[in-house]
Structure 1
């Protein structure tokens, strides 16, 4: 079984031992106090199972974290349920680089998953825009206080869906036509008050540096020096719910603590000289949308605009911060951060987390498949599920071989999930709030 997994994924046999990493990994156990790891004995229990519905291509993984003393007898992990007769290599160091490279995962993904169909992409835009206008028309027509809360929840979710489509434009996964990506991205993002190029460039920085303590763009650990320099108001806004879930507009204006610049300023240190014209274009489009909203406020009245656009906008902001936070932070999953030579694009991408939002997955275009998206942002959203399924073997090895219990000295450990089923209860994924609440209060 193990040999089949390796051959099917194009992987070479794993060596019997991997080199220990040097100092440089940062273990994040709270938002406010990132700390450097000291060698310690750890333990984990791996359980992998499959579902038989649409999520048959998804792997359910549970990796609870435990701490064991060196005097305690450690139980040998059973990897057989996951990959047949494969055993963890002797002396394996879970802080070492992955036992495969980016090309191994890429080779496992079918070629058609890389094909960008502009007509299909535009069909999703047409669908979402039609729903947005339909919801607004229905809410305005009914104008009932029983209907308005339902409208706010639904429209905020649809604004978030529009953002995800614009996000694909920014990555170039919407189409192979740069002009089409730019036009569609400006329309989609400007409509929800996001400066398209300013965001696109900073988001590119995030993808290229994810998991790097100093260079990642947002949601990165704060150094103790920066944390101590924060005033009490900033600490409250950053680490006390619900304020972190409302942070996105403020981030666009002034970025994260410890970083300077603005997504609207072409002279910001976010951008190089060749990008300034693009930033100006996006800022003009954003300003035009803001002016349109002001004009509609005079025509329709401030209360009607608040109900139709204002509250759904903040619903979208909460969706964006909620999803972004959950994909880059864990509670049971202790995600490492790196610096210097310890960091690599692959290691950074593998420290993201997949989340399952149930029936909402289709609405927000399978953004929950975040590991494969971070590794290969060029894949269109409508191919992500298949790409995850096809790349199962390499990513499974990340799970299976990164969770060794035998090594005495561990600098950090890897964890990634393949479209992780974290549990889904009822009509909405309210169970995900538990992860958010526990993480923000400093428990992860």
Structure 2
């Protein structure tokens, strides 16, 4: 039961028709996809080196593996989307008639063309300056807390340091996407140092996170915070259901997900033989596991030097603060909007439509501290854009996105308003139908504490 409580989701294993959904675009009817050729070549999108065969075998450059897929025009539905939602979703029709699940009247290439060219430039010196800034703050906070060592300071330290651990994760996340720099070796070295320091296996996470980006919004194939099917949901006992949808338990899931993935899916981010990985990725996974083990051993050694209680105060509590930040942010980027947003299956899913169901969030003063990761829609569509260009790229893309972009609710200095969004979503967003290619979350009225859907 505990594994259900601490998991991100509970989806049955992928059917054989999706044996390894990490090769990029997945479409049930390839004959209805055409690749666009224009003056902007496919190479403009800065993809990793990748070759796909009918057997799904690939040869890739290991250093840079997360990117947007090929530019794709979905022949079916474009005109239907225009009729339903008007041009760019802002036509003459009333707002009540806007259908977020309809195919948009624009393509990925249209959004890309609206983004200024300099937003795609990766500056390693600028990226490293953020690393230096964050590392200095982390050590400064630890030194100050250890020196003052009183119970007025410690809670403030835990909140601040947990947030800084989360900031380190976001920079390592940029390395995993290749948006940190053009140099794969630099990305890998910095990514390992940052993620290992907060007990995240860099390559293991990077590969599964690529799966999330390449399948975002897909009910079964998405890797992060995707819905429970009704069949799986009904199979849970009442205690598990209550805990699964009650704060703070879902916000403690991440370490357990790294070790055992989600129920219904097998594999560990630490095991090079896990079905998360293909054979030519095993060396990378071993490297990350060794780095993670070295950091764990260092922490154990420091416990002997400084004492376990002091290490708990300096590192253990901030680590769990980081975990809660990670789960909160990643959950709210895909859940909790005032209007129900669709999830897709089969021929209705596309990379673009899945990406348009993600949400931007405003975190107030935290926006700068965690490197604008709340600017999430453009990041999901174009993860190769560096974090320091995301705000500008989003502003440039808004006229194209129209109503498919949902303005985030403005935050005060601290984003306390998001706690209410989280709790309300957990009360309403319980499962999706086992059938249908465009589905929405449904609410179980028998679940204690659940509220009526909006």
**What does residue 107 of structure 1 align with?**
113
Measure, in 2, the Cα distance between the counterparts of 1:436 and 1:137. 34
Shift of 1:335: 1.3
**What does residue 222 of structure 2 align with?**
216
Measure, in 2, the Cα distance between the counterparts of 1:331 and 1:387. 22
Measure, in 2, the Cα distance between the counterparts of 1:127 and 1:253. 31
**What does residue 71 of structure 1 align with?**
none
User: CA 1:176–1:219 in 2, change beyond 3 Å: closer, same or farther?
Assistant: same
Shift of 1:20: 7.6
Q: Secondary structure at the residue paired with 1:19?
A: helix
- Normalising by the residue count of structure 1, what TM-score does the alignment of the two structures yield? 0.75
Shift of 1:103: 0.2
Pick aligned residue for 1:440 from 426, 446, 451:
426
User: CA 1:395–1:319 in 2, change beyond 3 Å: closer, same or farther?
Assistant: same
User: CA 1:361–1:341 in 2, change beyond 3 Å: closer, same or farther?
Assistant: same
Measure, in 2, the Cα distance between the counterparts of 1:432 and 1:391. 25
Measure, in 2, the Cα distance between the counterparts of 1:394 and 1:370. 16
Shift of 1:423: 3.0
**What does residue 310 of structure 2 align with?**
304
Pick aligned residue for 2:409 from 397, 414, 422:
422
**What does residue 16 of structure 2 align with?**
none
- The reply on whether 1:332 has 2:334 as its aligned counterpart is no
Shift of 1:93: 6.3
User: Can you give the 5+ residue segments of structure 1 that lack an aligned partner in the other structure?
Assistant: 1-15, 22-41, 43-76, 400-414
- Normalising by the residue count of structure 2, what TM-score does the alignment of the two structures yield? 0.73
Instruction: Give yes or no for contact 2:175–2:187 (8 Å, CA) kept in 1.
Output: yes
Bigger radius of gyration, 1 or 2? 1
Pick aligned residue for 1:141 from 144, 147, 154:
147
Measure, in 1, the Cα distance between the counterparts of 2:78 and 2:346. 23
Measure, in 2, the Cα distance between the counterparts of 1:176 and 1:307. 38
Number of residues paired by the alignment?
A: 351
Measure, in 2, the Cα distance between the counterparts of 1:93 and 1:335. 9
Measure, in 1, the Cα distance between the counterparts of 2:170 and 2:415. 19
Instruction: Give yes or no for contact 1:18–1:96 (8 Å, CA) kept in 2.
Output: no
Measure, in 2, the Cα distance between the counterparts of 1:127 and 1:197. 24
- The reply on whether 1:87 has 2:92 as its aligned counterpart is yes
**What does residue 11 of structure 1 align with?**
none
Measure, in 2, the Cα distance between the counterparts of 1:102 and 1:124. 30
1:391-427 per-position Cα deviation (integer Å, ceiling 9, x unaligned): 121112xx0xxxxxxxxxxxxxxx532xx331323x3
C-alpha root-mean-square deviation of aligned residues, in Å?
2.5
- The reply on whether 1:390 has 2:396 as its aligned counterpart is yes
**What does residue 259 of structure 2 align with?**
253
Instruction: Give yes or no for contact 1:17–1:93 (8 Å, CA) kept in 2.
Output: no
User: CA 1:437–1:92 in 2, change beyond 3 Å: closer, same or farther?
Assistant: closer
**What does residue 29 of structure 1 align with?**
none
User: CA 1:137–1:213 in 2, change beyond 3 Å: closer, same or farther?
Assistant: same
Instruction: Give yes or no for contact 1:331–1:438 (8 Å, CA) kept in 2.
Output: no
Instruction: Give yes or no for contact 1:19–1:93 (8 Å, CA) kept in 2.
Output: no
User: Can you give the 5+ residue segments of structure 2 that lack an aligned partner in the other structure?
Assistant: 1-76, 429-450
Measure, in 2, the Cα distance between the counterparts of 1:333 and 1:140. 46
- The reply on whether 1:131 has 2:137 as its aligned counterpart is yes
User: CA 1:331–1:111 in 2, change beyond 3 Å: closer, same or farther?
Assistant: closer
- The reply on whether 1:19 has 2:80 as its aligned counterpart is yes
**What does residue 352 of structure 1 align with?**
358
Shift of 1:222: 1.1
Shift of 1:230: 3.7
Measure, in 1, the Cα distance between the counterparts of 2:100 and 2:152. 53
Shift of 1:144: 1.1
Instruction: Give yes or no for contact 1:18–1:92 (8 Å, CA) kept in 2.
Output: no
Q: 1:49-60 maps to which residues of 2 (within 5 A)? A: none
**What does residue 291 of structure 1 align with?**
297
Measure, in 1, the Cα distance between the counterparts of 2:357 and 2:363. 19
Instruction: Give yes or no for contact 1:113–1:387 (8 Å, CA) kept in 2.
Output: yes
